[in-house]
Amino acid sequence: MVKVKPKVVVYKRMNEQVLNKIREMCDVSYFPAYKEDYPAFLAALKEAEGVLGAGLKFDTALLDQAPKLKIICNTSVGYDNLDIPLLKERGILATNTPGVLNDTVADAIVALMLSAARRVTELDQFVKTGGWSEQGFLQQQFGVDVHHKTLGIIGMGGIGTTLAKRAYFGFDMHVLYHNRSRNEQAEHTYNAVYCTMDELLEQSDFVCVMTPLTAQTEKLISKREFAKMKKTAIFVNAARGKVVDEAALIEALQSNVILAAGLDVFEKEPTGQNNPLLCMPNVVTLPHIGSATAETRMKMAQLGADNLVAGVHGKRPLTPIY
């Protein structure tokens, strides 16, 4: 007897090899750009037992269109697109991809810290547009050191801890952190010191926010928090844009409340070309690419696929959110 494969929807561009592995176990409807083919996407969702992708908000209206759904698998560690109480209420499982991206995202944060402190993107433009003359460069173009400075990490989870390791061993930095709970590994291994949010903001040369986006962390860093930071502080956000009040960040940079910023994420993505942050030489920007190396994206896709296949076949997925 031929066994019927469970129907699943993959709504994000996926590595062909990983997609074919899913196809061995599932009947896949693939929408690499689901918005362009929305009616067909909804029709497939009606029959789907599992979904794999990232970022799509599964609210009541969308879940009502997916009556057979057993599992939603994110190919991301962040799951602010999911309403966890609602999913639990409906008996739907959810998974994310923790751990496999920690090193890659921590590397990207270091890149932002170094670029902002040593003015890499600004000076790159200076050289490429012919500004480098016989007179050399000006003292006004000097950067600031990263090594031996104080780094404050808000959200000392998987990525925060991996960043602390780089800061402590690679740059001889003093690490402060603020988190919902104490992180003993970071305290013992990287000499990280737990402090209140205000202590961290007042004492840090670099402030990096790495919490998930939740009701508690939305606009966690706002006008009051920027005012607490040193005038020489460099602020880095690779978490989610909405964890920061972007208008307050713009104001803090425009009025020299802080020195510079490195941003991988924005309130609205993609951010509009009229965003004042894009015209500031002391702001280094990336297009939400923190985890996006070929190797790590492959690991995230594989983990997401393994979760999906397990979930629709009634097995416990590898990295359930609850």
Ligand X SMILES: NC(=O)c1ccc[n+]([C@@H]2O[C@H](COP(=O)([O-])OP(=O)(O)OC[C@H]3O[C@@H](n4cnc5c(N)ncnc54)[C@H](O)[C@@H]3O)[C@@H](O)[C@H]2O)c1
Contacting residues toward ligand X, per CB under 6 A: 77-78, 98, 101, 105, 155-160, 178-181, 210-214, 216-217, 238-240, 264-265, 288, 290-291
Tokens of 305: 């696929």
**Minimum distance of ligand DGY from residue 101's CB (angstroms):** 6
91/83 Cα distance (integer angstroms): 12
Closest CA to 173 of 202, 193, 148, 156: 148
Binding segment for ligand DGY (CB under 6 A), chosen from 23-31, 73-81, 153-161, 195-203, is 73-81
**Overall residue count recorded for the chain in this entry:** 322
**Minimum distance of ligand X from residue 4's CB (angstroms):** 36
Using CB positions, name the residue nearest to ligand X.
157
Site for ligand DGY in 94-123 (CB under 6 A): 101
Give the residue, chosen from 45, 72, 73, 77, that forms a contact with ligand DGY under the rule CB under 6 A: 77
Using CB positions, name the residue nearest to ligand DGY.
78
Tokens of 254: 């425009």
From 166, 174, 178, 288, active-site residue: 288
The entry of ligand X, ligand DGY, none that residue 54 binds, CB within 5 to 8 Å by partner kind: ligand DGY
As a three-state string, the secondary structure of the chain is CCCCCCEEEECECCCHHHHHHHHHHCEEEECCEHHHHHHHHHHHHHHCCEEEECCCCECHHHHHCCCCCCEEEECCCCCCCECHHHHHHCCCEEECCCCCCHHHHHHHHHHHHHHHHHCHHHHHHHHHCCCCECCECCHHHCCCCCCCCEEEEECCCHHHHHHHHHHHHHHCCEEEEECCCCCHHHHHHHCCEECCHHHHHHHCCEEEECCCCCCCCCCCECHHHHHHCCCCCEEEECCCHHHECHHHHHHHHHCCCCCEEEECCCCCCCCCCCCHHHHCCCEEECCCCCCCCHHHHHHHHHHHHHHHHHHHCCCCCCCECC
| Residue 148: CB atoms within 10 Å | 10
**Minimum distance of ligand X from residue 199's CB (angstroms):** 13
Give every CB contact of residue 74 below 8 A, 6+ residues apart in sequence. Answer: 53, 54, 81, 82, 94, 95, 96, 97, 304
From 178, 240, 246, 297, active-site residue: 240
Number of residues this chain uses to bind ligand DGY (CB under 6 A): 6
Of 66 and 77, which CB lies nearer to ligand DGY in the complex structure? 77
Of 97 and 183, which CB lies nearer to ligand DGY in the complex structure? 97
Give the residue, chosen from 14, 51, 52, 54, that forms a contact with ligand DGY under the rule CB under 6 A: 54
Catalytic (active site) residue 288:
yes
Catalytic (active site) residue 178:
no
Catalytic (active site) residue 199:
no
Of 203 and 211, which CB lies nearer to ligand X in the complex structure? 211
Can residue 78 be called a binding residue for ligand DGY (CB under 6 A)? yes
The entry of ligand X, ligand DGY, none that residue 53 binds, CB within 5 to 8 Å by partner kind: none
The entry of ligand X, ligand DGY, none that residue 239 binds, CB within 5 to 8 Å by partner kind: ligand X
**Minimum distance of ligand DGY from residue 196's CB (angstroms):** 27
The entry of ligand X, ligand DGY, none that residue 180 binds, CB within 5 to 8 Å by partner kind: ligand X
From 13, 89, 180, 269, active-site residue: 269
Binding track over 259-298 against ligand DGY, x by CB under 6 A: --------------------------------x-------
Which stretches of the chain bind ligand DGY, using CB under 6 A? Answer: 54, 76-78, 101, 291
